[in-house]
Amino acid sequence: MTTAASPSPAVRAEVPNDLAAFWLPFTPNRAFKKRPRLISRSKDMHYFTPEGREILDASAALWCCNAGHNRAPIVAAIQRQAAELDFTPTFQFAHPLAFQLSARLADLAPADLDHVFFCNSGSEAADTALKIAIAYHNVRGHGSRQRLIGRERGYHGVDFGGISVGGMVNNRKFFGMLLAGVDHLPATYNREHQAFTKGEPEWGGHFADALEGIVGLHDASTIAAVIVEPMAGSTGVLPPPKGYLKRLREICDKYGILLIFDEVITGFGRLGAPFAAERYGVVPDMITFAKGVTSGTVPMGGVIVRKGVYDAFMHGPEHAIELFHGYTYSGHPLACAAALASLDVYRDERLFERAKALEPKWCDAIMTLKGLPNVVDIRCVGLTGAIDLAPIPGSPTLRGYHVLEHSFHEAGVMIRISGDTIELTPPLIISENQIDEIMEKTAASIKAAA
């Protein structure tokens, strides 16, 4: 395993003269363009600015570069594939790597989660799973089951299905009424009972019982699926309370409702296992994935489906299409090559096991930030962590933005923010010394924003 940073390049990378044309996603564009945070190169645990300044990656880019950056086996696999087969459709045709990757993913997933439907992102994966759920009930003669249940503070991407079942207000409020017939479970977080918890909180498992109330309100005959993140990530690292996910599974089984785990963030070692479903001992009916499947190198997402769900569609004439859904780039050859190489790196370097072994050190280290100015809570599980900061009165999110700017420009560390919450989610190749370095630099940025 290589984790040392490469030396800064002798020649500076070209800096763009005009930043106007690019409308950055999830970014305050005017503030960014006044003081941009540009990246031109990466290696292992580090990014480099166009000027050659080294930035320690404490966020795995966007929860996705689990194997680190510019890993030679993954780069080589992408290059070989680009020279051999650039693209072929998977509508009525296919290529060998798509089948190889599907089999590898089915082997990683628990129980009879044996069939894989590919797309290109976590957002597409969420919408795909929701469509499969509704279609599943339809092909079984239960067409009244169309209602979808999400959770407050949940994040399932930015397509219309995902923001409808999602529960992050700013992602929803600008876009109208969204999908009809959606309801939401309550969020599982309560600072009074859960503050400064390592791992899964002891308090809060009872939040799952709210599903019984939703069933009572709408009747089970109208409900297709429940979708939750095993650990809510983008909203600020909310580990599930003990027993919560198992109780959801019990209620879904009781009423014939499909259970979908959105593992776009938690998949591929982030919580010390291939999927969070394994960590928590709960088998959902579908798992969505993206991000870490290619270690962020080529866009890819997908849904892993239980055998019974897949089999429900396999009726009628053999020449007829069973599911009218898909994307031009589903199972793209370059993405499949990148994913297979990433899975090899995870296996050969035992990165899932490494994340599990480092979790106690990681959680101890992040809890050392307790007591810093404006820190009101810290949560951690696996190699993830979140630090809630008290907002500046009258200017919510501004303190978090100040920390982000200081971290990049002065401290030399890349973090992620969600409002006034700092999220730390490093690549799984991180060393113990780099854990300490991240905490030292984050602490300096928190103090600077006080």
Which amino acid type is present at position 235? T
The CA distance from 139 to 220, in Å, is: 17
The answer to whether the beta carbons of residues 436 and 365 sit under 8 Å apart is yes
Residue-wise pLDDT tens digits, 285-320: 999 999 999 999 999 999 999 999 999 999 999 999
Tell me the per-residue pLDDT of 145-195, one tens digit each, with 9 for 90 and over.
999 999 999 999 999 999 999 999 999 999 999 999 999 999 999 999 999
CATH topology assigned to domain 75-348: Aspartate Aminotransferase; domain 2 (3.40.640)
29-67+350-448 fold? Aspartate Aminotransferase, domain 1 (3.90.1150)
H or E element in which residue 302 lies: strand 301-306
Other CB atoms within 10 A of residue 377 CB: 18
Q: What local confidence, expressed as pLDDT, does residue 195 receive? A: 98
Phi, psi (deg, nearest 5) at residue 39: -125, 135
Torsion of CA 29, 33, 37, 42, to 10 degrees: 90
Amino acid letter, residue 359: E
Q: Is the pLDDT of residue 57 over 60?
A: yes
If one counts every other C-beta atom within 10 angstroms of the C-beta of residue 29, the result is 13
Provide the pLDDT for residue 125. Answer: 98
CA angle 36, 51, 70 (to 5 degrees): 90
Query: pLDDT tens digits, residue range 240-284?
Result: 999 999 999 999 999 999 999 999 999 999 999 999 999 999 999
Q: What is the greatest pairwise CA distance in the chain?
A: 67
Tell me what pLDDT residue 16 has.
Answer: 83
Task: Give mean pLDDT, residues 220-236.
Answer: 98
Instruction: Read off the pTM.
Output: 0.96
Sequence spans of domains, the chain:
29-67+350-448, 75-348
Q: What angle do CA 375, 157, 139 make, to 5 degrees?
A: 140
Distance of alpha carbon 282 from alpha carbon 330, whole angstroms: 28
- Scanning the structure block, which residue is given the tokens 């394994």? 278
For the chain, give the mean pLDDT.
96
> What is the percent of the chain with per-residue pLDDT over 90, rounded to a whole number?
96
